[in-house]
Amino acid sequence: MEPIKIRPAREQVADALRRAIFTGEIQRGEELTQEAVAAQLGVSRMPVREAFLMLERDGLLMLNSHRKAVVRGLTEEDIVDHYDIRALLEGEAAARASVSEEVADIRAAYEDARSAGLRGDAAAFVEANQQFHRAVWEAADNPYLMRFLDQLWRGLPPHLPELVPVQMRQSLADHDQIMSALEAKDPEAARRAMRHHIQRSLQQFLNAWRSGSDS
């Protein structure tokens, strides 16, 4: 038996809200009261308050003293800005990872994503893909980099469900590029490959977003 991590209520509330925002169940501009959310989720206001503070940090809510919380949601511009910074940071992470001792760990995650992709298991792929990226940051071994990337990933839906199948093929091809740059211990090639991967994902995301969000 390994020690399990216990998740406080505030995090579960935050997760629930994030999901609701990402799926569009809660719309941009909508106003939330602690009371209403608490009632709907069946908890007291306390964990909701704390969750609101977390979501504010992640840029999903706007809070003002004694005012209701306003859902910031995401504009197309936000998404572009998000991916821009992600490309910068993950590119740096890849460059650092390429000269680290932990390339083997990355390869393991790479293989997982690859096999999930080849057998067409979308859910497993989404999970493994995240592990692959995370393995890169871990190898880069800079707590600030890791913290910011974590925040970024929490700030956008990991994958729009409708585009996962399309994305898998392309992502796997990109991963090949990244992986070989890493194993060649070539920092700049790794940075380029990662940046390219992310910028390409942005295009896919935007296409899906544009067709999905004309509601």
Residues that bind its own copies (CB under 8 A): 6, 8, 49-50, 53-54, 57, 59, 65, 78, 81-82, 84-85, 88-89, 92, 142-145, 147-148, 151-152, 155
Instruction: Provide, rounded to whole angstroms, the least separation between the CB of residue 176 and its own copies.
Output: 26
Name which of DNA, its own copies, none residue 215 binds, using a CB cut-off of 5 to 8 Å depending on partner kind.
Answer: none
- Rank residues 33 and 75 by Cβ distance to its own copies and give the closer one: 75
Binding positions for DNA, rule: CB under 7 A: 6, 8-10, 32-35, 43-47, 49-50, 63, 65-69
Give least dist CB 59 to its own copies, A: 7
CB of 59 or CB of 161, closer to its own copies? 59
Q: Give just the sign of the alpha carbon dihedral 150, 152, 156, 159.
A: negative
Phi, psi of 7 (to 5 degrees): -100, 115
Dig out the tokens for 166 from the structure.
């399309």
The option from DNA, its own copies, none interacting with 28 (CB < 5 to 8 A, set by class) reads: none
Phi, psi of 71 (to 5 degrees): -75, 120
Residue among 42, 152, 181, 14 at smallest CA distance from 90: 152
Cβ-contact 71, 30 below 8 angstroms: yes
Cβ–Cβ under 8 Å, residues 209 and 76: yes
